[in-house]
Structure 1
Amino acid sequence: MQRYNNNHSGTMSMSLIILILCCASSTLIIANSQTIVKSLPGYSGPLPFKLETGYIGVGEDEAVQLFYYFVESEGNPEEDPLIIWLAGGPGCGTLRAFFFEIGPMQIQYGNYINDVPALQLDPNSWTKVANVIYLDAPTLTGYSYTTNPDAVHSSDTESAMQTAEFLRKFVKNHPKFLNNPLYVTGISYSGIVIPIITEELYKGNDEGLEPKLNIQGYMGGNPLTDKTGDINSRLEYAYRVALISSELFEATKRDCNGDYAEADNNNLQCLMDIDEVNKRVGDINIQQILDPDCDPATNLVRGVNPALKGNRRTLRANNRIQMQPAQSMLQDNVFCRGAYYDYATLWANDVNVMKALGVREGTVKEWLLCNLDMKYNYGKPSMPQYKFNVRSSIAYHERLTKRKCRALIFSGDHDMMVPHVGTRNWINSLNLTVTDSNWDAWYTNGQDAGYKTSYERDNYSLVFATVKGAGHTAPEFKPQECFEMVKRWFAHRPI
């Protein structure tokens, strides 16, 4: 597989390489910040939607160059909402959302055009009802890079501030969207930073920062929010879906005093209970409990973090990924969803793809689905490149309840990584008033698509919805249902 300008001498230090890139790309930062993409390798003919890619510099001296894909709404771009979509990880490229979750294109598995995976249009793309920015953040995610070796370090709060800066600069560069309703959205680990970014945008407006943004609210899918509470809720979830017995659930809850994620290492009975729990869920796919488990054993609340589950060849493509037929998604005649992502890795690392997207030459050694150097691992120290310095973002949600603000939180009800149980717990802690619906069914195509509860306080409103049958990253598992849900919510209609 071709690599994009990956011919640096092995004797050069990484710092020297980065400094050279800084000098070599300085003119590009000014001259080539935006690319209008008319066609993409793997898709026959011109794109039937408007795609722009580019970089916006943020932070000190704009040393962090954040890469984005921007698709104008295929509906009414002048009036439809402007949303920014953030992936999880942290460190997972937003191309995953572009192909597998809410984007305008899908991969035709097993089919190729000119040696790259073939693409097709997605009928459930959120770009049909919104202008969508897919952002590679924090730095060193996807195609994003730095011009200064010191700028590779980031954290929850710093990443949030940089994304808020990005948004203000993006709208300044695209003034036609100044009046469009703006929402901060994303999935999984981005649940930590979404409310921080949203509050920062409101505060910026209060302080008179220009341009003034028409921030209306935020949305989080399967959002990690309270790290301890969300991990603790996995035990109750496992009991609710009959993966562990009532006796084991009650014993573990009693012996551990309700705290499993940070159980006392001196409490041997608690640790023994947790070990029994882990034995029973060891062969369960924590991201979608009905999918086959193609990876090493799951530890539900302690030990090896399930957030790192996934084919490492997929997450970090150190091994050369070859073109494979559709049958490659089968492992021992079992469907393995992770094999889907190999196609995206193959596509994203193709030299012609990078040229088409306007990726700056020499800035990315290898595109990774997820940068494991900043992958969150509960209970482990922060990674060298990234500090997990926000344990819970509930306080930011509480501040937003004092704003004129809308929120949509949704969870796949087969997700055991960030269970809906824990999500509802932190929503209830906001002490909002339940309004017209309380765990009522919502429907698509006349069928029950999940359950919803609506909350309000003054000018703040929040809708919490489950998506029936969906796992972690709900739009990947139930794209039509999630599309209908957001289509109604954007239109201020009951979902």
Structure 2
Amino acid sequence: MRIANNLCLVTALAASSVSAFQSPIAINHDIDSFLEKHVLGIQDTKNVDTSLVAAWKELLVEYGPSQLVNEINNYKERASSFPGTVQELREPSAAEELASTLKSIHNNNSPEIAQNGYEVVSMREKFKNHSLRVREGHPELLHLDSVKQHTGYLDIEDEDKHLFYWFFESRNDPVNDPIILWLNGGPGCSSATGLFFELGPSSINKEIYPVYNPHSWNSNASVIFLDQPVGVGYSHSSKKVSTTAAAGKDVYAFLELFFKKFPQFNSPSNKFHIAGESYGGHYVPKFASEIINQKDRTFELSSILVGNGLTDDLIQLDSQRSMLCGEGGIEQLATDEECSEMSDEYDKCVPFAKLCYDLQNPFACVPASLICSRIGDNVKSVPPFNPYDIRKPCEGDNGLCYEALDYSAKFLNSEFVKMVLGVDSEVQEFESCSNDVGYGFAFQGDIMLPHQQYVAELLEAGIPVLLYAGDKDYICNWVGNNKWSAALPYSGHEVFESAPFKPFITSGNATSGEVKNYDIFTFLRIYDAGHMVPYDKPEVSLEMLNRWLAGDYAFAGKK
């Protein structure tokens, strides 16, 4: 039961499917010669572990050298050209009709919009090659929200990288309310998923028109939606970013320049937080670590929030068996035999995952990903389901299982919308998720890398951490997040591990989940929500956010 997955790309290598590359390549070498020529050259350690060589040999025997070398070459080709954009032109759509209508209503052909009208912000003494383009939005044109908005790009000149962002001020009190940077996962998915599908000021309906969201996270906070890394959404580059660590450098530069432009949001009355979901379990802790280790930073980080994240793969991979085998709060779906086989597959995965954790390089982590992604391949008795919500079938044909995600993509591909936002002409088409970026991260071994150590670092530095999880998600589920957080080695480990779960009581005296807390570390299970909690439980997610931002880290009792 191999599940294609873009929002939490645990199975990225399996989803890419080596069998998809059919061009024959004649290889007249034995396996050792093949390894030396095609594989050992990609590793970056002088100490080659014999068990890793054995793993590569096993994969070569199983897949065949022709298919595997095609996969490696395909990655190299992507990495060298890496367009970051899709070049096909779109047919006129309802979004273009909306553009024409709004254009007529608002008579918006002003030179300011047509010429993009960017202000450029830089800090050359600190970031020699970075600058931030900023332009004030026109909320009345897109009908998303009436609050003040800004869009623009972080430009990294020497690397030809351009990261798009969209900033919405708080509906309440922007002068004093917190600031949140929101990041979607993938790796390779645009934060427009969060903006239009989960927690932003409006969603997009099937008529490709905005629908106001009363439970938006900018109800009491200002929110930045950032398309990162390059190649995602409206961001573009002729280069590549294929590791979380490299992406973190760009995000830190973005934040420094953002707060230089908007010093009014960097005052004692404002608090800055980073939130994300799915592969955000990699992004958010690492980016936060990057920030707190910059001694000359001009802003402070107040907390992080991670929803249904992928952080500690070694522990979390076994939780997929838990969800199918009656240990995740739902009835057992797989047979006893299939559950036993999944357990055996996990046991086989563990030593390779540990080697990845120890060596932390592509040579160790790519085969670990390939071997560990097989967990669940044997399950045939369970009907196909939405991996982001085990209760539902997969909708549509976009590979993301939610047909409504196509609506926001159509909206964002409107030439009018792109003009209003000041999108660079290099972006021919907006994509919700980019396989190019996902493959790049997969073949750098980034997906299997451990990131829980950054959570421990943050806690030791006094940075509050909230892990929340909808309990009907399969792919980055609550069971795995609960297990790795309980196992996290930090100074409060024993107290946190033994802390009892208490009811999470929300407005109306409703029990909306259960919460485990010690001091500034919290794990929150949210009942009857899938992978994207703000989509399934908008009222609960907003209350969760507001209480966390107010410092109620224990979510103690009633609001």
- TM-score bin (small chain): 0.7 to 0.9
**Distance change (3 Å), C-alpha of 1:74 and 1:389:** same
Q: Is the 8 A contact 1:77 1:130 kept in 2?
A: yes
SS of alignment partner, residue 137 of structure 1: coil
CA RMSD in angstroms, aligned pairs only: 3.4
Instruction: Measure, in 1, the Cα distance between the counterparts of 2:179 and 2:190.
Output: 20
Is 2:137 the partner of 1:37? yes
What is aligned with 2:282?
Answer: 192
The equivalences for 1:57-456 within 5 A come to 57-58=155-156, 61=158, 63-107=160-204, 109-111=205-207, 117-146=208-237, 149=238, 151-179=239-267, 180-204=270-294, 207-209=295-297, 211=298, 213-239=299-325, 240=327, 241-244=330-333, 247-248=336-337, 251-252=340-341, 255-256=344-345, 258-259=347-348, 274-276=376-378, 278-294=379-395, 311-312=398-399, 338-360=402-424, 362-375=425-438, 382=441, 388=446, 391-430=449-488, 431-434=493-496, 438-444=500-506, 445-456=508-519
**Distance change (3 Å), C-alpha of 1:178 and 1:435:** farther
Letter in 2 for 1:68: Y
Letter in 1 for 2:275: T
What is aligned with 2:109?
Answer: none
Is 2:116 the partner of 1:52? no
Larger radius of gyration: 2
How many Å apart are 1:198 and its aligned residue? Answer: 0.7
How many Å apart are 1:250 and its aligned residue? Answer: 6.2
What is aligned with 1:334?
Answer: none
What is aligned with 2:127?
Answer: none
**Distance change (3 Å), C-alpha of 1:259 and 1:81:** farther
**Distance change (3 Å), C-alpha of 1:67 and 1:73:** same
Q: Is the 8 A contact 1:72 1:131 kept in 2?
A: yes
Please, which of 538, 543, 546 is the counterpart of residue 479 of structure 1?
Answer: 538
How many Å apart are 1:78 and its aligned residue? Answer: 2.1
Instruction: Measure, in 2, the Cα distance between the counterparts of 1:273 and 1:418.
Output: 14
How many Å apart are 1:29 and its aligned residue? Answer: 8.2
Tell me whether 443-452 or 134-143 shows the greater mean CA deviation.
443-452
Instruction: Measure, in 1, the Cα distance between the counterparts of 2:82 and 2:458.
Output: 41
What is aligned with 2:95?
Answer: none
**Distance change (3 Å), C-alpha of 1:15 and 1:84:** closer
What is aligned with 2:360?
Answer: none
Q: Is the 8 A contact 2:206 2:404 kept in 1?
A: no
How many Å apart are 1:249 and its aligned residue? Answer: 6.6
How many Å apart are 1:88 and its aligned residue? Answer: 0.9
How many Å apart are 1:434 and its aligned residue? Answer: 3.3
SS of alignment partner, residue 158 of structure 1: helix
Letter in 2 for 1:357: L
Instruction: Measure, in 2, the Cα distance between the counterparts of 1:272 and 1:473.
Output: 25
Is 2:498 the partner of 1:467? no
* Identity in percent: 27
Instruction: Measure, in 2, the Cα distance between the counterparts of 1:443 and 1:83.
Output: 24
Instruction: Measure, in 2, the Cα distance between the counterparts of 1:250 and 1:367.
Output: 40
SS of alignment partner, residue 281 of structure 1: coil
Tell me whether 241-250 or 190-199 shows the greater mean CA deviation.
241-250
How many Å apart are 1:214 and its aligned residue? Answer: 2.0
What is aligned with 1:326?
Answer: none
How many Å apart are 1:480 and its aligned residue? Answer: 1.0
How many Å apart are 1:42 and its aligned residue? Answer: 5.3
Q: Is the 8 A contact 1:232 1:259 kept in 2?
A: no
Instruction: Measure, in 1, the Cα distance between the counterparts of 2:186 and 2:179.
Output: 23
Instruction: Measure, in 1, the Cα distance between the counterparts of 2:428 and 2:197.
Output: 24
Query: What TM-score comes out, normalization by structure 2 length?
Result: 0.67
Q: Is the 8 A contact 1:450 1:465 kept in 2?
A: yes
**Distance change (3 Å), C-alpha of 1:466 and 1:473:** same
Instruction: Measure, in 2, the Cα distance between the counterparts of 1:286 and 1:50.
Output: 37
Is 2:548 the partner of 1:489? yes
**Distance change (3 Å), C-alpha of 1:437 and 1:491:** farther
What is aligned with 1:303?
Answer: none
Letter in 1 for 2:496: V
How many Å apart are 1:285 and its aligned residue? Answer: 1.9
SS of alignment partner, residue 106 of structure 1: strand
Point out where structure 1 has 5 or more consecutive residues left out of the alignment.
1-12, 19-24, 112-116, 296-309, 316-336
**Distance change (3 Å), C-alpha of 1:40 and 1:372:** farther
Instruction: Measure, in 1, the Cα distance between the counterparts of 2:84 and 2:500.
Output: 57
Instruction: Measure, in 2, the Cα distance between the counterparts of 1:27 and 1:37.
Output: 10
How many Å apart are 1:349 and its aligned residue? Answer: 0.6
Instruction: Measure, in 1, the Cα distance between the counterparts of 2:422 and 2:428.
Output: 15
SS of alignment partner, residue 214 of structure 1: coil
What is aligned with 2:364?
Answer: none
SS of alignment partner, residue 273 of structure 2: strand
Higher strand proportion, which one? 1
What is aligned with 1:328?
Answer: none
Q: Is the 8 A contact 2:183 2:191 kept in 1?
A: yes
Query: What TM-score comes out, normalization by structure 1 length?
Result: 0.75
How many Å apart are 1:346 and its aligned residue? Answer: 0.9
Higher helix proportion, which one? 2
SS of alignment partner, residue 434 of structure 1: helix
Instruction: Measure, in 1, the Cα distance between the counterparts of 2:462 and 2:482.
Output: 22
SS of alignment partner, residue 215 of structure 1: coil
Deviation string, structure 1 residues 151-206 (Cα, Å, up to 9, x no partner): 324311101221122112211111111122111111111110211111111111xx
